[in-house]
Amino acid sequence: MPSSISSFERTIPGLPWRSLALMAALLTLVATVAWEIRARTLGYTPVLNDTPDLWADWRERVKPDSIVIIGDSRALFDTDLDAMEQGLGQRPVQLALVGSCAYPILENLANDENFHGTVISSLIPLMWLAPPPAPPYQNSLKALKRYHSRNIAQRASHHLGMFLEEHLAFMKQEDLTLEQLLKRVEIPDRPSFHGPPPLPPYFQATERDRRTRMTETAAKPGPLQDRVKTGWLPLFTPPPPPSYVPPEAFAKFMGATIEQRFADTAAAVKKIQARGGKVVFVRFPVVGPLKEHEDKLTPKAGPWTRIINESGAAGIYFSDYPELIFDCPEWSHLSGTDSVEFTKRLVPHLKKALGR
Sort strands 278-283 and 67-70 into parallel, antiparallel or unpaired.
unpaired
pLDDT for the residue 131: 93
DSSP for residue 220: S
Helix axes 52-59, 152-165, angle to 10 degrees: 110
Q: Looking at this protein, which amino acid is placed at residue 268?
A: A
Per-residue pLDDT band at 334 (split at 50, 70, 90): very high
Beta bridge partners of 281: 121, 315
**What mean pLDDT, rounded, does the chain reach?**
89
Indicate whether 240 pLDDT > 80: no
pTM score:
0.84
Q: How confident is the model at residue 193 (pLDDT cuts 50, 70, 90)?
A: low
Q: Say how far apart CA 221 and CA 47 lie, in whole Å.
A: 22
Q: What is the pLDDT of residue 186?
A: 67
Question: pLDDT-derived band of residue 181, with 50, 70 and 90 as boundaries?
Answer: low
Calculate mean pLDDT across residues 207-217.
91
Question: Would you say 174 and 49 are in contact if contact means Cβ atoms under 8 Å apart?
Answer: yes
pLDDT in the model for residue 178: 66
CB atoms within 10 A of CB 30: 10
Q: Average pLDDT in the 79-93 region?
A: 96
Domains of the chain as residue ranges with CATH: 61-128+209-354 (3.40.50.1110)
Q: Using the predicted structure, report yes or no on whether residue 86 has a pLDDT greater than 60.
A: yes
Q: Give per-residue pLDDT as tens, 102-149.
A: 999 999 999 999 999 999 999 999 999 999 999 999 999 999 999 999
